Structure 1
Amino acid sequence: MEQKGFYRQKINKLFRESSLSQSYKDESEKRVYEAVISSKEYRESEFIFLYMARKDELSVASIINESFKLGKKVLLPRIIPNTNRMDFYFVKPEDFDEKVQIGSYEILEPDDTNEKLIISSIKEKSYIIIPGRCFTKNGKRLGRGKGFYDVFLKQMKMNTKCFLCGVCYDFQIEEDFPTDENDINMDLVLC
């Protein structure tokens, strides 16, 4: 869809033209951290799905660390090369630094010695934190255009009890943009 490309280009241009101050990033990350950690949905979830942020994504490192402290099961994505799919792997605090490496798209990913998630094995509630290029306040999400999260989230929504939380910087919120049948709406968007 050409209109989706327009919004991706708009956000990319904003990132290129603005230099986000460290204090702005820190404040945004703290606000999202506090909202996630204090939410009922997070507290009730055993499985916490997160991501390792790229330079132009809001960092969720503090949520990863807090999830480890609380004994939650933490999972991170690993892209399957030459596809639009990704698998999630369990990561543990004791060997996190040794078992996370630079992978596809220069993103930190769990290596394949971590335990891979089998979606059908999840019986408890899950909280999934998802990056995006832009969101609407009512939950629409626009990713980077490869469909990695769309494919994964569709499987999760069909097979598990999951809560979807989109996270971004406040300038990544749009009034509206087009979506299609493959796009999955968020239950909540935080910035």
Structure 2
Amino acid sequence: MSLPLGPSPFPGVPERRPERADLTYRSPSPTWKSPEVPSPPDPGKRPAGRNARCLHGFRRRSASIGAANPRSPPHRRSRRWSGAGVARAGQLRGAWRGRGARDPEAARPSRACGPADQRRQPGERAACTPHMAAAAAVSGAKRSLRAELKQRLRAISAEERLRQSRLLAQKVMAHSQYQKSQRISIFLSMPDEIETDEIIKDIFRCGKTCFIPRYRFQSNHMDMVRLASPEEIASLPKTSWNIHQPGEDEAREEALSTGGLDLIFMPGLGFDKEGHRLGRGRGYYDTYLRRCEQHQRAKPYTLALAFKEQICAQVPVDEHDVKVDEVLYEDTP
């Protein structure tokens, strides 16, 4: 039994006052109700509000995207998107896919577009065009032929190399194109190439102008620079290919800037009787011959020097390879 509030009717008993909890929840109104307890959020319903968080815990934008926020700085306030603005955004997005096309119809299609049977499945290789297949076949054939020709050249003895080099030097000196040429470019031979020392000496003996290659090894660029004398070759620095050539910072006369060339002696790994040439894969001479066509009125005569072991039935070529005018070897008629 609880005692009533107010003064106690019993002597010595203090007055009973309401507790603190009663002050919090008691209401003088006869229609007093207990405070409402918020119900737990529905997991299937997305919360609302500008800074509300989505079901995954990340902050999401409010539904009124585009409405200007008065609390944001002027340069951060967004505009309400109109129908024209949305269409323009779609065109720009298509232009980015199409690398500059403003018309969405002209934009480059994505991987997902197109008929389902034409889409590339995950892990499937891209389709190979006939041009790509032909280029890959030529490149593989060149690699195989280069390996075979290097084996042939390694099998030639030093005596046989010297014999064929001297024979070709005599053929060159009796050649009509050599005799009437005044500005001649000739390569400084590597160990597996025809030796050109005797030809270089004869160029200076006849009073002709001699040019030698100067390669840039970080590119396919090559210049033909003037050689002062045959004795100068031994003093030139050597490259990683063990070839003497003038330094890149050394000022020398360049052939194309001073009148061009009349005759170019061409090195190579393999040749056929049609004039097709297989080089070492850098493209120095092919690039240089195209420069000659741009800087000279008359194309220089190209004469390749080869061992008879370097003559092939057919050399694989592509659109970048330039034919030589004549291949000179031991059995040349």
Tell me if TM exceeds 0.5: yes
Which structure has more helix as a fraction of its residues?
1
* Structure 2 CA distance for aligned equivalents of residues 95 and 19 of structure 1: 28
* Structure 1 CA distance for aligned equivalents of residues 273 and 156 of structure 2: 24
Q: Give the C-alpha shift of residue 15 in structure 1.
A: 2.4
**Tell me, which stretches of 5 or more residues in structure 2 are unaligned?**
1-138
* Structure 2 CA distance for aligned equivalents of residues 104 and 48 of structure 1: 25
Q: Report if the CA contact (8 A) 1:77-1:88 is conserved.
A: yes
Q: Which amino acid aligns with 2:174?
A: S
Kindly indicate whether residue 217 of structure 2 is the aligned counterpart of residue 75 of structure 1: no
Change in Cα spacing, 1:159 to 1:35, as seen in structure 2 (3 Å) is: farther
SS at match of 1:8: helix
Q: Report if the CA contact (8 A) 1:99-1:114 is conserved.
A: no
Superposed CA offset, 1:21-48 (max 9, x none): 32x1222112211221111211111111
Q: Which residue of the partner structure matches residue 202 of structure 2? A: 66
Q: Which amino acid aligns with 1:134?
A: G
Q: Give the C-alpha shift of residue 94 in structure 1.
A: 7.1
Q: Which residue of the partner structure matches residue 87 of structure 1? A: 223
Q: TM-score, normalised by structure 2?
A: 0.53
Q: Report if the CA contact (8 A) 2:153-2:309 is conserved.
A: no
Q: TM-score, normalised by structure 1?
A: 0.90
Q: Give the C-alpha shift of residue 101 in structure 1.
A: 1.9
Kindly indicate whether residue 187 of structure 2 is the aligned counterpart of residue 51 of structure 1: yes
* Larger radius of gyration between Structure 1 and Structure 2: 2
**Moved beyond 6 Å, runs of 4+:** none
Q: Report if the CA contact (8 A) 2:234-2:244 is conserved.
A: no
**Tell me, which stretches of 5 or more residues in structure 1 are unaligned?**
none
Q: Which amino acid aligns with 2:308?
A: D
Q: Which residue of the partner structure matches residue 150 of structure 1? A: 286
Measured on the aligned residues, the alpha-carbon RMSD in Å equals 1.9
Q: Give the C-alpha shift of residue 120 in structure 1.
A: 4.5
Which structure has more strand as a fraction of its residues?
1
* Structure 2 CA distance for aligned equivalents of residues 99 and 91 of structure 1: 12
* Structure 1 CA distance for aligned equivalents of residues 273 and 230 of structure 2: 37
Q: 1:184 aligns with which of 295, 303, 322?
A: 322
Query: How many pairs are equivalent?
Result: 188
Q: Which residue of the partner structure matches residue 115 of structure 1? A: 252
Q: 2:168 aligns with which of 26, 32, 43?
A: 32
Q: Which residue of the partner structure matches residue 2 of structure 1? A: 140
Q: Report if the CA contact (8 A) 2:211-2:255 is conserved.
A: no
